[in-house]
Amino acid sequence: MSSVNELPPRHLLHHEPPIFELGSPGRSGASLPSLDVPAADPRDDWGSLARAEAPGLPELSEVDVTRHFTRLSRWNYAIDIGMYPLGSCTMKYNPKINEAAARIPGFAGLHVYQPESTLQGALELMWQLERMLCEIVGFPRATLQPAAGAHGELAGLMMIRAAHADRGRHPTKILIPDSAHGTNPASCTLNGFDAVTLPTGADGVLDVDAVRAALSSDTAGIMITNPSTLGVFEENIADIAELVHSVGGFVYMDGANLNALLGKFRPGDAGVDVMHINLHKTFTTPHGGGGPGAGPVAVAAALEPFLPRPTVEKRGDRFTLEYDRPKSVGRLRSFFGNWGMFVRAYTYIRELGGEGLTRATELAVLNANYLRARLEHEYPVACTRRSMHEVVFSDKRLKKETGVQTLDIAKRLIDHGYHPPTVYFPLIVPGALMIEPTETESPETLDQFADALLAIAEEARRDPERVKSAPHSTGLRRLDETRAARKPRLRWRPAGTE
């Protein structure tokens, strides 16, 4: 059985004030040499731009600063500490070889303004990564510029809009299933499109007839998350693509869940016109606070002229940046995108190869279905279809029997040593617990995690208040999320000035 450590070591529990409340006037962590040049008055050089008062920075010694941040870091949870079952986020392990590659001096020390002739290795890596990604998803070209998934959506929709305008058309509507990622409608709105919601069919997949009924000459396209946020493969995608094409629309696939498809399904082969790929999900670059994201966007031939510029081209044995793309939607990111992530993703793909990537997908899907088989009797599954890389449970049974809800279960998981899963998403599943183990986790870890969830269900029947008041082992107990949202305090202010 899973055991809960109710009393963690003292060092996890102590109160850590903001750094502004630490230290003492005059204390310093640096010893500067005495002034050996004439003192200058900043106002002579900067006039009114010079500060009239010191900025009120905290004054601390080196040891104060080191301890403050080291203590805070011990409150962190990270993929290097344990399982991170955050559904829809693909929190897979980030291999250390990625970091070694990204730190190769020739990569790490590049400057964006170096002449092209001295950037050949970097450009070749970008050119090759583009081709690798295109081979994986079945498209002729891709841009590496977008900085994350939602930025990729923006890029894709800009290209769709540009392609319509190029044909003299200005359709306004994008269809989005209610099981799609929440960023999809936001990206539509940012692009001046109206998002039209399509209901998911009773069996959890998008219904071809529902798409047909929603189509019109005003349909600019459709955005499909595949697998959907229910963790289900949209098996009608090829038929839907044909229908959408028949009214002149384009098909955007949200590729955030690509980890379920590597080596198994190529969206480009199914009629998808454009998709984004999250390097920070599928291709093991750091996700969340660990580093910037990267959301390359791959396109079919019809959208290629509209790709952001510059593109990387190979001329003979030289690599070059191509700016002369008259129909391009323009530049979407400063310089070349989040370059360090390209090195990491390239390293991962080279390390695993085609067979390894296929195996990763197989294990990711197997792991999700294993958890489903172990937990389904306590946590009913939203969709009867076979799960892909993630599985959406609900609190339906426990809530009815014990009053314990998804949020309580998530908080109690913290006491068991896990990062909570994604909760209350997708919205179409009441009390959703969305769990994505990824291929990273071993059978032992999966069993321990399943045991923890089963122990919480058992505890909910025996002592529901214990679960409802979780977490118990953290430095701070359950936070007042409502008050934080209604009356947010977004910055620290000195005492007496609030």
Partner 1 sequence: MSQDHPANLLYTREHEWARIEGNTATIGITHFAVEQLGDVTQVDLPREGETIRKEDVFGSVESVKAVSDLYAPLSGKVVKVNNPLNDTPQYLNDEPYDDGWLIQIELSNPAETASLMTAAQYAEFLRDQDAH
Which residues sit at the interface with partner 1, rule CB under 8 A? 182, 423-425, 427, 430, 481-482, 485-486
Tell me whether residue 364 or residue 392 sits nearer to partner 1 (CB atom). 392
Residue with tokens 């107990």: 477
Nearest distance, CB of residue 194 and partner 1, angstroms: 9
- Look at residues 291, 400, 298 and name the one whose alpha carbon lies nearest to residue 344: 291
Collapse the DSSP code of 313 into the 3-class scheme (helix H, G, I; strand E, B; otherwise coil) and give the result: strand
Nearest distance, CB of residue 424 and partner 1, angstroms: 4
Are 456 and 412 a contacting pair, CB within 8 Å?
Answer: yes
Nearest distance, CB of residue 92 and partner 1, angstroms: 26
Nearest distance, CB of residue 357 and partner 1, angstroms: 34
Report the alpha-carbon distance of residue 292 to residue 285 in Å, rounded.
9
Element (H, E) at 186: helix 183-190
Give the β-pairing of 297-299 and 318-322.
unpaired
Tell me whether residue 39 or residue 485 sits nearer to partner 1 (CB atom). 485
Tell me whether residue 176 or residue 253 sits nearer to partner 1 (CB atom). 176
Residue with tokens 């940012």: 190
Tell me whether residue 481 or residue 498 sits nearer to partner 1 (CB atom). 481
Tell me whether residue 20 or residue 425 sits nearer to partner 1 (CB atom). 425
Report the alpha-carbon distance of residue 41 to residue 91 in Å, rounded.
52
Burial class (CB in 10 A: 0-12, 13-18, 19+), 321: middle
Residue with tokens 């006491």: 415
**Per-residue H/E/C for 227-273:** CCCCCCCCCCHHHHHHHHHHCCCEEEEEECCHHHCCCCCCHHHHCCC
Nearest distance, CB of residue 362 and partner 1, angstroms: 32
Nearest distance, CB of residue 224 and partner 1, angstroms: 20
- The CB-based long-range contact list for 214-219 (8 Å cut-off, 24+ gap) reads 214/175, 215/175, 215/243, 215/244, 215/246, 215/247, 215/249, 216/173, 216/247, 217/171, 217/247, 217/248, 218/171, 218/172, 218/173, 219/171, 219/173, 219/174, 219/175, 219/244, 219/247, 219/248, 219/249
- The 10 Å Cβ neighbour count of residue 341 is 27
Tell me whether residue 81 or residue 427 sits nearer to partner 1 (CB atom). 427
Tell me whether residue 320 or residue 405 sits nearer to partner 1 (CB atom). 405
Element (H, E) at 358: helix 339-375
Tell me whether residue 34 or residue 482 sits nearer to partner 1 (CB atom). 482
Query: How far is the first Cα of the chain from the last one, in angstroms, to the nearest whole number?
Result: 49
Nearest distance, CB of residue 486 and partner 1, angstroms: 5
Tell me whether residue 3 or residue 197 sits nearer to partner 1 (CB atom). 197
Tell me whether residue 300 or residue 432 sits nearer to partner 1 (CB atom). 432
Nearest distance, CB of residue 454 and partner 1, angstroms: 24
Tell me whether residue 201 or residue 356 sits nearer to partner 1 (CB atom). 201
Nearest distance, CB of residue 91 and partner 1, angstroms: 21
Residue with tokens 């969830």: 453
- Look at residues 209, 212, 236, 214 and name the one whose alpha carbon lies nearest to residue 224: 236
Report the alpha-carbon distance of residue 197 to residue 210 in Å, rounded.
10
Nearest distance, CB of residue 483 and partner 1, angstroms: 9
- Look at residues 159, 202, 205, 180 and name the one whose alpha carbon lies nearest to residue 301: 159
Are 230 and 179 a contacting pair, CB within 8 Å?
Answer: yes
Nearest distance, CB of residue 453 and partner 1, angstroms: 20
Element (H, E) at 401: helix 396-402
